[in-house]
Amino acid sequence: MTLVWRPGFQFDADASTYIEAVEAADTQALETGVRYAINDFVIGCKQDGIWSAIKASCILAGARTLAGALTPLAGTAPNRFGTEGGWNYNRKTGLQGNGTDNYLNSNRNNNADPQNSIHLACFVSSSFGNSRFMIASADNTSVTNLYKGSTGNAASYLRGGTIISSAAAITTGFFGSSRTSGTSINGRYSGVSVFNNSSTSVSPSAEALEIFRSSTYPSLYLGDGRLAFYSIGESLDLAKLDTRVSALITAFQAPGVIP
């Protein structure tokens, strides 16, 4: 299938491949507006020079079915675990954890990216309860783990179980961390770059990064929020990724795009 944006203009090849894979999983075509939004996102990431840094990613919204939403934008498709049939998926706002046993294995190992060049990012559509993980390594030894703090309403990053940075209140929107050197971890929350803290070295294990949980913590800490996007990979400009992801989810939620 050849996707055409307008006469004389073809869709980006990577966007087209992804759209076709989602439609195959959905067994039905996506709406024109959804296709356009995805194409804009991919082209924008390439223009910003951040596309190649995204190694494992899912757009957890837009697709007609959960199978379509779990079709990878980059990397290997995640495996889902937990209550069969218990996943709450919404095309405009994404996939919600149940806070009990539902989580995704990203199939991206914790040590697949250099410890001094790694990012984790997601788009939160509904906020998490206390002490709920968004992205973490299974054994909690990743350079950065993104989670909802247990006290107050702050989002923090962990390094080997130790809090090294925290930020403003977490509500909804883009949240990310990017480590660009042995001493620098940058974070971005709610449209603002909020910290650049020193950090010591760490040796990430070969455990997979997971979405909605860290398996070293009891079930109390499984995520119960809703995510519309996640990405894992090499360090990148979080502000640029924020702009592209936020525009993508906003486009999905615009009147008439998704019935």
* Domain harbouring 109, CATH code: 2.60.120.200
Is 26 within the bounds of a domain? no
User: What pTM value is reported for the model?
Assistant: 0.90
| DSSP-derived secondary structure letter, 71 | S
pLDDT over threshold 50, residue 2: no
Say which residue, 16 or 10, is predicted with more confidence: 16
Q: Which residue has the tokens 């997971």?
A: 210
Is 259 within the bounds of a domain? no
- CA–CA dist 155, 170 (Å, integer): 6
| DSSP-derived secondary structure letter, 51 | G
List pLDDT tens digits, range 158-208.
454 455 555 555 678 898 888 887 667 788 887 888 766 666 666 777 888
Is 145 within the bounds of a domain? yes
The number of folded domains in the chain is 1
The two structure tokens encoding residue 220: 């109390």
pLDDT over threshold 70, residue 101: yes
Whole domain around residue 175: which residue ranges?
55-236
Is 132 within the bounds of a domain? yes
State the CB neighbour count (10 A cutoff) for residue 35: 20
- CA–CA dist 226, 207 (Å, integer): 24
Q: Where are the beta strands (DSSP E) in the chain?
A: 4-6, 9-10, 54-59, 79-81, 88-90, 94-96, 103-109, 118-126, 133-137, 145-148, 154-159, 162-169, 173-181, 184-189, 192-197, 208-211, 226-233
- CA–CA dist 232, 204 (Å, integer): 14
- CA–CA dist 18, 58 (Å, integer): 10
List pLDDT tens digits, range 41-89.
999 999 999 999 999 999 999 999 999 999 999 999 999 998 766 789 9
List pLDDT tens digits, range 115-135.
788 899 999 998 787 767 788
Is 15 within the bounds of a domain? no
List pLDDT tens digits, range 26-38.
999 999 999 999 9
| DSSP-derived secondary structure letter, 244 | H
Is 48 within the bounds of a domain? no
Beginning with the edge strand found earlier in the chain, give each strand of the sheet holding 162-169 in spatial order. 79-81, 103-109, 208-211, 133-137, 145-148, 154-159, 162-169
Measured over the CA atoms of residue 70, residue 169, residue 120 and residue 239, the dihedral's sign is: positive
**What region does 233 belong to: left with phi over 0, alpha with psi -120 to 50, or beta?**
left
Is 176 within the bounds of a domain? yes
pLDDT value of residue 136: 82
pLDDT value of residue 104: 94
State the CB neighbour count (10 A cutoff) for residue 151: 9
pLDDT value of residue 219: 55
Query: In one letter, which amino acid is 178?
Result: S
List pLDDT tens digits, range 211-258.
998 766 655 578 888 999 999 999 999 999 999 999 999 999 999 999
Report which of 144, 124, 114 is spatially closest to residue 209, judged by C-alpha positions: 144
Is 167 within the bounds of a domain? yes
pLDDT over threshold 90, residue 137: no
Burial readout 205-231 (b: 16 or more C-beta within 10 A, e: otherwise):
eebbbbbbbbbebeeebbbbbbbbbbb
